[in-house]
Chain A
Amino acid sequence: MIEELPQQLDLPDYAPSPVQEFRPLDPRAVGLWRVTDLIGFGVLLLTLLISLCLAIFANLRFWPWLLGAWFALAALCVWYSFWRPPRYYRSWSYRIDDRVLETRSGLLFKSARLLPLSRLQHVDIERGPFERMYGLASLVLHTAGTHSASIRIPGLDAGEAVRLRDHLVEIGGDDAV
């Protein structure tokens, strides 16, 4: 029948290199995400407002209610855009030792991803217009895998991202495919 799970796991914690501490992203990422969130919600709210205006022109009777709902929604969006980024920022961390890159992220649904560095196919640095404004960059790590074929580390300092990329390519590059 059902056996008890052994209390103490007899697997060796396989860490031949000194275990690195988890590092946070650049704190400026909070500001960046607030801006991008606001813009994203802004577009949504604007389309809603436009359709609302059309409805008013079409003599919809209960438009004050709809307008009220729109304001409530707008307030919610603004609050969420300020509430989420710092928490999401705190949920994000990564660490690299000489063999493995590990990332942790997620507010409600948490996920941790471990990437053996010798499996790295190539590394991209991506910088959108807002990221450039904040002096930030995203690092995208590609493997030959299927469902998590790329791992993205957002909100890194631009200089740090370049340094990290060079470091990763140097470590991972010896695996000739």
Chain B
Amino acid sequence: MPSDTFSTAPVFEGRLHPLTIAFGLLKAGRSLIYIIPLIWFGNKSYGLPLLMLIVTSAILTTLTRYFSFSYRIEGNELITQQGLLERKHRSIPLERIQEIRVEQGLLHRLFDVVDAKIETGGGGGAEASLSVLSRAEVEHLRQAVFERAAKIRADAGQTTAAAQPQGVAPERVVILQLSLKDLFLIGLTTNHLISALALAGALWNFADDILPESIYRRAGNYLVRETERLIAQDVATTIVLTILSIVAVVVIGLVFSIAGTIIRFYGFTFSRSGEDLHRRYGLFTRRSSSLPRRRIQVLKIEEKMFRRWFGLATLRADTSGSHRDNEDDDTGRDVLVPIAPRSEIDGLLTTFFPDFDSDQAEWRRVSRLAIRRDVVKGAIICALIAALSFVARRQAISLWPLALLPVIWFVSAARYRHLGYALGEHYFRTRRGWLGRSTHIVPINKIQAVEIYQSPFDRRLGLATLSVDTAGQAYTGGGPQISDLPVDEARVIARTLAHKASATRFRW
């Protein structure tokens, strides 16, 4: 589309950084590494021209991309343009822009350039990807976008409670910083086995790429042979070895997860300027993102099993644009606060929801039938196991599963005590879980729908499960949900929530 159809003059114009070419070529070169052996060992008379073709096309694409790509803010839109023959023109309404995410790998940091990704509430991934830009330029772009978006909203007559004075860049206040000690603690309390496996997998892949096959095959054979020899010796040695190897796996897992956490969250800084929340973290690849706080749809305070013992919690958020793409899964995008004492997180809540403090509704419990139901469920399972083992060996001792009944009662009661909800003026909170507890907080004006669900068992006891639907539930495990409510109470809550939500305005 020719740009002269627009009456408004562009406010902000920019191009990619010249280093785009270098980075583009580097990326193309990296993907070539996989092809080279193929061509080398294949037919050389075909391979060489093919290689040339690939290289030239890579160079051409990179050059075209650099010379044809431009972006600008025009009127109420951010416009990106790309392509020589076929011009791609994309316009993104400014007030839909959720977040400008910035990533900086090691090489990027050397030259002080970044990859910027622009996200909207669409949920289909980044709307536009600007790679690479200088860091100063991204800062300018970010400021221009969010200032203009705020102005557009103000012009549209939408009253924002904490509107920023125009033209004055609000000061950035650091709210939370994580020290190495905090990161160490996170690593220590995460599920280390999984991260160890992931890392081992990555290492294996790496070894697969680098080392010739014969070496690690020989190493594997050697390991198997040695183990067989040891097992053949005697039982005591085997037991000791097994225990030792389990300990080793755990220790290695811990080391890996601590290292992984430090690499991911090193230098975590959480700050706020006006309505925008900023995060910056990462040891090698530095990531930073800013997010207007009204985009937060649901907050989840997660107290996992080990962390709850230390009084620690994690804060996660769903924004209306959240979605999981596989490559981005592990970058901690949803984590607002990786770890902090629970009391500190409670104090932080007003940072996300300014009027939260005046909204402290009392926690309510669900029906006590929840205990009975859990005990019955557990008892049936115990009785089945006991019956089976009694059939197998007709001795009184095989009825031992029945001794677990008091434990079941205790667990059910504990679970009941932690199950609850609080319905305030502007916020709805639910919490669940005993060993690991999670608390969801949803602003009532972000509620999209409320659902009450009754299984046949629920109906017999007159209970129901209530769940709240919001936009972009991807990270917080399905949003606020509370089971074992008396059905009449569930109906009243649902009606109250729906009516209150309907009386408010939902903005992206």
Give the B-binding residues of A (Cβ under 8 A): 2-5, 9, 11-16, 99-100, 102, 106, 108-119, 143-149, 151, 175, 177
Could you tell me if A119 and B451 are in contact, using CB atoms closer than 8 angstroms?
no
Kindly identify, within residues 468 to 505 of chain B, every residue whose CB is under 8 Å from any CB belonging to chain A: 469-474, 478-479, 486, 488-489, 491-505
Asked if B100 CB lies within 8 Å of chain A CBs, one says no
A110's partner among B454, B489, B493, B508 (CB-CB below 8 A) is B454
A13–B423 Cα distance when bound, in Å, is 13
- Specify which chain A residues have a CB less than 8 angstroms from the CB of B494 in the assembled complex: 112, 114
Which residue of chain B is the closest to A100 with respect to CB atoms? B498
B416's partner among A2, A114, A117, A144 (CB-CB below 8 A) is A2
Could you tell me if A114 and B456 are in contact, using CB atoms closer than 8 angstroms?
no
From known contacts A118-B505, A148-B469, infer whether A11 and B423 are also in contact, taking CB-CB under 8 Å: yes
A-B contact count (CB 8 A): 131
Could you tell me if B492 and A11 are in contact, using CB atoms closer than 8 angstroms?
yes
From known contacts A9-B492, A15-B499, A99-B502, infer whether A113 and B320 are also in contact, taking CB-CB under 8 Å: no
A109–B497 Cα distance when bound, in Å, is 23
Report, as a range, how many residues of chain B touch the other chain. 35 or more
A175–B505 Cα distance when bound, in Å, is 6
Output the least CB separation between A88 and chain B (Å).
15
Which residue of chain A is the closest to B493 with respect to CB atoms? A11
Asked if B453 CB lies within 8 Å of chain A CBs, one says yes
Kindly identify, within residues 417 to 434 of chain B, every residue whose CB is under 8 Å from any CB belonging to chain A: 417, 423
Question: Which 4 pairs of residues, A with B, have the shortest CB-CB distance?
Answer: A145-B448, A116-B502, A145-B469, A99-B502
From known contacts A5-B365, A146-B473, infer whether A100 and B451 are also in contact, taking CB-CB under 8 Å: no
From known contacts A109-B453, A115-B449, infer whether A146 and B504 are also in contact, taking CB-CB under 8 Å: no
Could you tell me if B501 and A119 are in contact, using CB atoms closer than 8 angstroms?
yes
- For B436-469 the 0/1 string (1 means CB < 8 A from A) is 0000000000011111111110010000000001
A100–B449 Cα distance when bound, in Å, is 10
- Specify which chain A residues have a CB less than 8 angstroms from the CB of B501 in the assembled complex: 116, 118-119
Asked if B506 CB lies within 8 Å of chain A CBs, one says yes
- Specify which chain B residues have a CB less than 8 angstroms from the CB of A112 in the assembled complex: 451-452, 491, 494
| Residue with the greatest number of chain A CB neighbours at <10 A, chosen from B449, B459, B474, B489 | B449
Secondary structure at the A interface, as helix, strand, loop or mixed, is: loop
Asked if B27 CB lies within 8 Å of chain A CBs, one says no
Could you tell me if B368 and A2 are in contact, using CB atoms closer than 8 angstroms?
yes
Besides A113-B452, A177-B507, 12 other A-B contacts (C-beta < 8 A): A2-B413, A9-B488, A11-B423, A108-B456, A109-B453, A109-B454, A117-B502, A119-B448, A145-B469, A146-B469, A149-B448, A149-B469
- Specify which chain A residues have a CB less than 8 angstroms from the CB of B448 in the assembled complex: 115-116, 119, 143-146, 148-149
Could you tell me if A147 and B469 are in contact, using CB atoms closer than 8 angstroms?
yes
Asked if B367 CB lies within 8 Å of chain A CBs, one says yes
From known contacts A109-B454, A143-B469, infer whether A99 and B508 are also in contact, taking CB-CB under 8 Å: no
A11–B496 Cα distance when bound, in Å, is 9
A145's partner among B365, B423, B471 (CB-CB below 8 A) is B471
Could you tell me if B471 and A109 are in contact, using CB atoms closer than 8 angstroms?
no
A115–B470 Cα distance when bound, in Å, is 11
B471's partner among A2, A3, A116, A144 (CB-CB below 8 A) is A144
From known contacts A100-B502, A146-B472, A175-B506, infer whether A114 and B413 are also in contact, taking CB-CB under 8 Å: no
Which residue of chain B is the closest to A118 with respect to CB atoms? B502
